[in-house]
Amino acid sequence: MSLRDRLTEDLKLAMKARDQLRMDVIRMIKAAVLNKEVEMKKDLDDAEMSRIMTTMIKQRKESVEQYEKGSVPNLPQKSGRKFPSSKPTFRRRSHQTNSTESWMA
pLDDT, one tens digit per residue, over 59-100 is 988 888 888 887 766 665 543 333 333 333 334 444 444 443
Angle of helix 46-69 relative to helix 20-40, nearest 10 degrees, comes to: 120
**Mean of pLDDT values over 11-30:** 95
**pLDDT(6) > 90:** yes
* Burial class of 26 by CB neighbour count within 10 A (0 to 12, 13 to 18, 19+): buried
Topology of domain 1-73, per CATH?
Hypothetical Protein Yqey; Chain: A; domain1 (1.10.1510)
Q: Where are the domains of the chain?
A: 1-73
